[in-house]
């Protein structure tokens, strides 16, 4: 199936809304479908990873962020920030801290703010 980038983004937004609204199962279903259609798109991979984090599937999120996003875009600060969050949730605080410190230094305002908040917890 061919889907436009715009359509995939819109469907991803529905997945985010489900995720942030507490409907983790529906979010996972939506994001997995989007991922199946838009397999090569970094924003899609990021959305799937974020939904995995919210669902508590940290190992899956870590795999997506490390093996899909960061292999292609080694300086993707949002990916590093969310990887830090997933690692932090798993108790891998030292590695998460390194990522958060890098994001604070190199990330945009939003990324840096999120990373700084995690550094202060």
Q: List, for residues 22-68, the tens digit of each pLDDT value.
A: 888 888 788 888 777 766 778 888 888 988 898 899 999 999 999 99
Please tell me whether residues 48 and 97 are part of one structural domain. no
Please tell me whether residues 3 and 48 are part of one structural domain. yes
Task: Tell me what the mean pLDDT of segment 12-25 comes to.
Answer: 82
Query: What's the domain range around 109?
Result: 75-121
Task: Tell me what the mean pLDDT of segment 2-31 comes to.
Answer: 80
* pLDDT value of position 5: 73
Give the pLDDT band of residue 80 (cuts 50, 70, 90): very high
Could you write out the DSSP letters of every residue in the chain? ----HHHHHHHHHHHHHHHHTT-HHHHHHHHHHHHHHSTT-HHHHHHHHHHHHHTT-HHHHHHHIIIIIHHH-TT-HHHHHHHHHHHHHTT-HHHHHHHHHHHHHHS-HHHHHHHHHHHT-
């Amino acid at each position: 199936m061919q889907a436009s980038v715009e359509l995939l983004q819109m469907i991803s937004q529905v997945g985010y809304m489900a995720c942030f609204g507490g409907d983790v199962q529906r979010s996972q279903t939506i994001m997995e479908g989007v991922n199946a259609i838009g397999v090569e798109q970094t924003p899609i991979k990021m959305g799937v990873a974020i939904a995995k984090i919210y669902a508590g599937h940290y190992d899956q999120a870590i795999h997506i962020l490390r093996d899909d996003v960061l292999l292609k875009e080694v300086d993707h600060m949002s990916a590093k920030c969310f990887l830090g969050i997933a690692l932090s949730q798993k108790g891998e605080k030292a590695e998460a801290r390194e990522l958060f410190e890098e994001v604070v230094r190199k990330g945009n305002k939003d990324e840096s703010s999120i990373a700084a908040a995690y550094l202060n917890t």
